[in-house]
Amino acid sequence: MNSIMALSKLSKTTLSLSLALALTACQTLPTETNPATVSSQQSEATFQFAHADYLTIQDALAQGELSSAELITHYLRQIEANNQQGAQLRAVISLNPDALNQAKMLDNEREQGNVRGPLHGIPVLLKDNIDTADGLANTAGSVLFAENYPEDDATLVTNLRKQGAIILGKANLSEWANFRSTRSSSGWSGVGGLARNPYDPTRSTCGSSAGSGAAVAADFTTFAVGTETDGSLVCPGAVNGIVSIKPTLGLISRDGIIPISHSQDTAGPMARTVAGAVTLMQAMASYDGSDSASFRSDTVLTDYLNEDGLKGKRIGVVRNLMGYNELLDQQFEQQLDVLKAQGATLVDVEMPTYGEYGDAEFTVLLYEFKHDMAAYLATTNLPYRSMSDLIEANNRMADKELPYFGQELFIMANNMTAADESRYLDALEKSKRLAGPEGIDKMLTEHDLDLLVAPTTGPSWKIDLVNGDHYAGSASSPAAVAGYPHITVPMGYIELPKQPKLPVGISFFSTANAEPVLIEAAYSYEQATQHRQPPQLNITASHAN
């Protein structure tokens, strides 16, 4: 057994059992008389399951052309074929063994005229740092948290269930949301193994919402939920060729999410289209009095899915968020012509970048990580109460937790003391000011702009467990640090001879609560281009490490 397979043995056992239970649920009768099988065969003649977008699925469910049970069965079979076998994407850590039964119950409700909401019967994978009270562990990808069984759903999960969503399972992630080591490889976790990019499984998924992005791209689910502190929604969105939205800080409750930083953490939607991502975001959003950043919003975000949404928009092209990949820049320049053709006016701008406030942001993340993690640990039944406890436990389980890279960031965070508070507060003020009021907001005001655009990040790099990630640059930091919204949409592919084509994304970002403006622009761009093409997974994997 190779190293990654050994490390993910616990996850494979859990996943295999839950997958077997789920698939068996539709095989309780002989095949020739099994209603679920017969119904599935009938639907396959009229419904194209593969890579169907949310609106197509929703319409088919409403018209009776598709059942939720059939949809869940399709995804379970996709996971069985390519999660640990086939392309070996390792995008899913665990599955809800009751998902198919829940789908049947929701199908019955629909037949009786009871539709809970726009997500009725729609499956959602959650990044495995989000609490559920349904028997699924919330692991953050770490063996240390393998027995972390929350007593309550996270608020966003409660909201999803109210809308009729089915929690399909938990998605793999970069362990501890990629905040453990300075030399990490994105997508690796002690529980889940190494998540891989479905467009080329030898390449990275990027960011910490690795499995969430790969699962949506690979047609393992209709929707996934990820989280971001800086880049972990939009980067895997871009390199996996899907749509991802980092909302304004506080639009979605952070309750029940294993944290890094209360100043920047947020959950967000991942989907194959803008309409899907916006619908999922609307379903998760709500005011939560227990979340200090939460706010009330009566905005109906789906009202802004406007095909003419670029018309009349003034857009700043952030030129100093470019220049780290020539092929990426060439693809981006072509998209500017699309924006203009759809009625937008473009203005070149430059703004403060990560190099000017990155050190300050890093100080903020380290300081808040220690305190925010202790606050989460206090809500669990785990034998850990501090960062020191986690560091010691990682050392005890080094063969499973530290085989490829260390825990330098844990140690740096743990070294933060009360004496660092003034330095932290100065860093917080500086990073927020340069990213927000003197960054995004200043650009919008000075040039009378509605929003800003830039390439999201470069094409996916080759996985390198020796050196870690080969990360060249990104447009994620300004909106992430400021707490402002950011949408990434597929903008085409980097194509070279005899190489798999690699997806890249275009970023739309603006000031706080500017989701309506960004949705209009992103949806209009998507409808004008229709760039997304699904990955081809009919391969025999020989890349496992």
- Per residue, what are the HEC states of 257-277? ECCCCCCCCEEEEEECCHHHH
> Residue 467, class by beta-carbon neighbours within 10 Å (0-12 exposed, 13-18 middle, 19+ buried)?
exposed
Tokens of 233: 């929604």
Question: What amino acid occupies position 477?
Answer: S
Active site annotation includes 170: no
Please provide residue 166's backbone torsions phi and psi, each rounded to the nearest 5 degrees. -105, 120
Selection from 481, 524, 488, 518 nearest residue 504 by Cα? 488
d(CA 477, CA 238): 15
Answer yes or no: are the C-beta atoms of 510 and 452 closer than 8 Å: yes
């996985």: which residue's tokens?
463
Tokens of 349: 């701008």
Please provide residue 457's backbone torsions phi and psi, each rounded to the nearest 5 degrees. -170, 170
Answer yes or no: are the C-beta atoms of 170 and 92 closer than 8 Å: yes
Other beta carbons within 10 angstroms of residue 292's beta carbon come to 9
Could you tell me which residues come within 8 angstroms of residue 149 by beta carbon, excluding any fewer than 6 positions away? 135, 136, 137, 138, 381
d(CA 269, CA 487): 10
What would you report as the CA-atom Rg of the chain, rounded to the nearest whole angstrom? 22
Other beta carbons within 10 angstroms of residue 20's beta carbon come to 14
Answer yes or no: are the C-beta atoms of 505 and 490 closer than 8 Å: yes
d(CA 512, CA 469): 31
d(CA 456, CA 322): 9
Q: How far is CA 117 from CA 67, 122, 277, 503, in A?
A: 16, 10, 15, 32
Active site annotation includes 127: yes
């619908």: which residue's tokens?
279
Q: How far is CA 322 from CA 333, 431, 472, in A?
A: 10, 21, 10
Active site annotation includes 162: no
Question: What amino acid occupies position 129?
Answer: N
Determine how β-strand 193-194 pairs with β-strand 166-171: unpaired
d(CA 92, CA 90): 6
Selection from 185, 181, 186 nearest residue 209 by Cα? 186
Other beta carbons within 10 angstroms of residue 359's beta carbon come to 13
Instruction: List the catalytic residue out of 43, 67, 186, 208.
Output: 208
Helices (H) and strands (E) counted in the chain, each on its own, are 20, 13
d(CA 37, CA 15): 23
Instruction: List the catalytic residue out of 127, 246, 313, 400.
Output: 127
Positions of E strands within 113-222: 123-127, 166-171, 188-189, 193-194
Tokens of 229: 């502190």
Instruction: List the catalytic residue out of 94, 181, 204, 232.
Output: 232
Active site residues: 127, 208, 232
